[in-house]
Chain A
Amino acid sequence: MKEIICITCPKGCHLKVDEESYAVTGNSCPRGAVYGANELRNPVRVVTSTAVVSTSPDKGRETGEAGGGVTPRRLPVKTDRPIPKGKMFEVMAEIAKLRVKPPVKVGDVLIPNVAGTDGNVVATKNLP
């Protein structure tokens, strides 16, 4: 039996899930049973992170602007769908290698099929 907390609603039921049959107890609604089973069978998460922007790091300094200057040093990114929980650090390692050249638009694919997960790493902010 694996004990997990349901996050389907704010109530936070403490579920007990059987590792073999995926039977769920402790849930107070049917959505809890679905969540509990999925969470054991194939837990998935969206990974969010930042990518290095590969302009001169001194660009902001030349313009005399505080707060990153015209070009920010980092671009926020995410996986465009939930990826297997066990692959999170592998995905992070891929994102760490990324060097993004502006311009970039929200949703632009930066790494397709990241770490073989079928998910893509996409930009979550415009970078002019």
Chain B
Amino acid sequence: MDYDVVIIGCGIVGAACAYELAKHDLRVCVLEASNDVANGTTKANSAIVHAGFDPLPGTKMARLNVRGTAMMGELCRKLDVPYRNNGSLVLSLSESDDGILQKLYAQGVANGVPGLALLDRTQTLSMEPNLSPAVRGSLFAPSAGIVNPWELCLALAETAVRNGAELRLSAPVTAIAQTAGGFCLTTPNGKLTTRYAVNCAGVFSDRIAVMAGDRSFRIQPAKGEYFLLDKSEGTRVDHVIFRCPSELGKGVLVTPTVHGNLLVGPNAAPCDADDVANTAAGMDFVRVSAQRSVPGINFRDNIRNFAGVRANSDRPDFIIEASAAAPGLIHAAGIRSPGLSAAPAIGLEVLELLRQAGLELRKKETIIDSRKRVRFHALSDEEKNELIRTDPRYGRVICRCETVTEGEIVACLHTPIPPVSVNGVKRRVGAGMGRCQGGFCGPRVQEIIARELGIDPTKVLMDWEGTWVLSGETKGGTAQ
């Protein structure tokens, strides 16, 4: 056997599993279909750490959400991931909403959500003066927060790699065969064998299950579309602002992001697993809906739209269980909202399921459990000067909107999981995330990637495989 455990998929769930497993004396490998981690649902969602009053009491979703949210602050501190415990408000805008708030409150108490409080109109507006005057009251959840989901995923995966886990990018699993005491997995670059496998394949997790002969669930992908607004709109609200949930989902939320922007969305519409296109109808719905809770949002300051695909399933709860059809395969599938919040706890849950399935877990004697990266804009004047003295590249601002320096870009290209695309750099250091959306820095980032990775600039991608940027050189240079 090549490995003790192979994790299929390196989104937030796969990374959380890898992070926990790599603390143990195990041969762990993570297979990711895309050319970067966090490149599916993890990079395109509401980036909310939910308090945990939405799931029905007694479900895995309820238990893991509350537990994951409780872990989030310490985990983000250790791994240097932007996180803010800003709390959330669910608004009531009608009489029937009042009843829903009561129900959510009771549910939250049953789930063990700390500090919940029902606020009246005056209390609500004093906390958030820009809310609609039609607001009648709210449910305040002080434990809710916001996080950078792709950096959390990256930090978990990076830490796992530094603790000895192996990560293979651009390695989609195309076939799974059960062997004596394990599995043989096929990828485009060859086969590998493992005693256990963990299915964290997100919107594709039902296809992985089928490969292993397990047809016990189906993923029903649902798209959500978003607006990301300029930092000039980032203080429009301070808390995560939810509407009352309905059959259609949690509704359109309005929230600041950890980067200081304003995030507005999502809608919900069935879609194909890889369909991340924005639609005029979806964007209109989000715009109109958000303005019912926060009327003053200036959508002229929008800097980007995106869409994410939720890994909803045909079951009402997370599917975190040992496969009955394929012993040794653990599913962590159907991880819809609040999957991001629950992810740290899902890692522990999967660890426990593997132990129950017979995997011996011996803690390594020494492990790395911290991470630190330079965030130039957040340094003091003296620290900035000191850093530039040691490496002048920290004095060259490449992304002027977000103040990201060449030093930071170069550093991220030499981390345990180096990016291979312009957006990979963006997700790691924020270059191109600002109001000009890479219009100024894109060409320079492209060049730095080529230089540092020793590849031709025409080979640098925008994001995943196939997203080429340059077709070739002018004047008889190399052609695409």
Nearest chain B CB to A87 CB, angstrom units? 18
Does A66 contact B475, Cβ atoms closer than 8 Å?
A: no
Nearest chain B CB to A89 CB, angstrom units? 14
Does A50 contact B448, Cβ atoms closer than 8 Å?
A: no
How many angstroms from the CA of A31 to the CA of B315 in the assembled complex?
Answer: 77
Assign chain A's interface to a size class.
10 to 19
Does B444 contact A61, Cβ atoms closer than 8 Å?
A: no
Does A74 contact B474, Cβ atoms closer than 8 Å?
A: yes
Residues of B within 8 A of A68 (CB): 447
- Does B476 count as interface, using CB distance less than 8 angstroms? yes
Nearest chain B CB to A10 CB, angstrom units? 28
- Does B406 count as interface, using CB distance less than 8 angstroms? yes
How many angstroms from the CA of A50 to the CA of B477 in the assembled complex?
Answer: 13
Partner of B476, one of A64, A67, A74, A96: A96
Residues of A within 8 A of B78 (CB): none
- Does B396 count as interface, using CB distance less than 8 angstroms? yes
Does A51 contact B398, Cβ atoms closer than 8 Å?
A: no
Assign chain B's interface to a size class.
10 to 19
Does B475 contact A61, Cβ atoms closer than 8 Å?
A: no
Residues of A within 8 A of B477 (CB): 52
Partner of B447, one of A67, A74, A95, A98: A67
The DSSP consensus for interface residues of chain A is: mixed
Does B444 contact A96, Cβ atoms closer than 8 Å?
A: no
Does B406 contact A66, Cβ atoms closer than 8 Å?
A: yes
Partner of A66, one of B444, B474, B476: B444
Partner of A67, one of B444, B474, B475: B444
Q: Which residues in window 41-77 of A have CB below 8 A to B? A: 50-52, 61, 64, 66-68, 74
**Nearest-neighbor residue (CB-CB) of B474 within chain A:** A50
Does B475 contact A96, Cβ atoms closer than 8 Å?
A: yes
Residues of B within 8 A of A61 (CB): 451
Nearest chain A CB to B228 CB, angstrom units? 26
Residues of A within 8 A of B398 (CB): 66
How many angstroms from the CA of A95 to the CA of B474 in the assembled complex?
Answer: 11
Nearest chain B CB to A57 CB, angstrom units? 9
Residues of B within 8 A of A97 (CB): 476
Residues of A within 8 A of B162 (CB): none
How many angstroms from the CA of A68 to the CA of B457 in the assembled complex?
Answer: 12
Nearest chain B CB to A72 CB, angstrom units? 12
How many angstroms from the CA of A96 to the CA of B473 in the assembled complex?
Answer: 11
Nearest chain A CB to B388 CB, angstrom units? 14
**Nearest-neighbor residue (CB-CB) of A50 within chain B:** B474
Residues of A within 8 A of B27 (CB): none
Does B475 contact A51, Cβ atoms closer than 8 Å?
A: yes
- Does B393 count as interface, using CB distance less than 8 angstroms? yes
How many angstroms from the CA of A68 to the CA of B448 in the assembled complex?
Answer: 10
Residues of A within 8 A of B476 (CB): 96-97
Given contacts A64-B393, A74-B474, A96-B474, 4 further A-B contacts (CB under 8 A): A50-B475, A52-B475, A67-B444, A95-B475
A positions within 8 Å CB-CB of B: 50-52, 61, 64, 66-68, 74, 95-98
What are 13 contact pairs spanning A and B, CB under 8 A? A50-B475, A52-B475, A52-B477, A64-B393, A66-B396, A66-B398, A66-B406, A66-B444, A67-B444, A95-B475, A96-B474, A96-B475, A97-B476
